[in-house]
Homo-oligomer: A and B are copies of this chain.
C-alpha cells in the first residue's frame, strides 16, 4: 500500500463538506482504494469481473442439486449474456471476462486422493493471475462450478480446522440427505489427503478446483498490479483464504463484498477479519454479491474524489 497516497487522501477527506466521519464505511473504502491505487483521488472507472469455471470430480458423490453439465451450460449462458452476472456487470458498469478451465477434464474426486496434480494447480493459478487485465482499477473474482461449495468447504476445513459439518451448507439447494453427503465427502477428502491440513497451497491442490485456484491466482495477480479486490461469497473467500494462510497480510488489498446466505461464509469472513460491505441474502456465486458492491466502492471513490472542500464551497466548517 502507498502510505503517502493514503495520508494525502485522509487530509483531503478531512476538508470535504460533510461532518467528520459522516460517510461511514464509504470513507474507509475511499482510503483503502487510495492506498492501493496510489492516489488521493481514487476511481472505479474500469472495474473487471473475472468469472472462472471448472468441473469437479467430487460431483460423483451426489453433493449438488444440479448435474455437472450445468457448469458448461452456464458458461454458454454467460457468453450469451443471459446470466445474473451479465446483468449485474452491466448495471455496475463493469467489464465481464469469462474463463473456462478445462471443463471437459473435471478435477479428480478428492475423496479418493488429490483433486489436482501440481502442474494442474499451477496452470490454474497462472490462468487467474493472467486474467487481470491491464487498466482494470478494481477486480471482482467470481466462479461457476457445480460441486464447488463442497470443495470450498473441504478447503476451509483444512485451512481453519473444525468439523466438516461446520463448513458445509445448502449450496445451490441440496436437501438434508445432500447436506450429509457433502459432510461425508469433506471428511473423506481430509482423510484421503493428509498433507492438506497445515499447508495452504497443498490444501488448494488436494481439495480445491481449477476455478478456485484461478481465483486465488487472480487475487494474487491483482496484488502484484496494485489493483484492489472485492471478494464474493463462500467459494471466492475460501480461495482467497489460501493466500492469507500462506502469507499473512496477502488480503490487505481485498474487501469482502457480500456476506452470503451460504451458512459457513460468515465464519470464514470472521476468521479472515473481513467485514462484508453488503448482506443481501444472496447465494448465487458468479461474483454476483461482489458485483453489487462495486457500486458502493464507486460511490466511495466519487465522494472522495469529487466533493468540494469547506473552503472551496464557502461553507462554515
Residues of A bordering B, CB below 8 Å:
16-20, 22-26, 65-67, 69-70, 73-74, 76-77, 80-84, 86-88, 90-92, 172-173, 261, 277-284, 288, 291-292, 295-296, 298-299, 302-303, 305-308, 312-316
Contacts and interface: CB of A to CB of B under 8 A. Distances in A.
A252 to B, nearest CB: 21
A295 B172 CA distance: 25
Quick one: copies of this chain in the complex?
A: 2
A280 B24 contact: yes
A91 B315 contact: no
Contact of A314 (B73, B173, B295): B73
B22 A316 contact: no
Nearest to A171: B19
A18 B284 contact: yes
Given A82-B312, A314-B76, A87 B284 contact: no
B296 A292 contact: yes
Contacts of A86: 306-307
A80 B306 CA distance: 12
Nearest to A170: B19
A175 to B, nearest CB: 13
A261 B23 CA distance: 10
Given A284-B23, A303-B84, A307-B83, A298 B91 contact: yes
Given A82-B307, A173-B20, A299-B88, A280 B316 contact: no
Given A91-B299, A92-B299, A172 B315 contact: no
Contacts of A88: 299, 302-303
A87 to B, nearest CB: 4
A229 to B, nearest CB: 19
A291 B302 CA distance: 12
Nearest to A284: B22
B295 A92 contact: yes
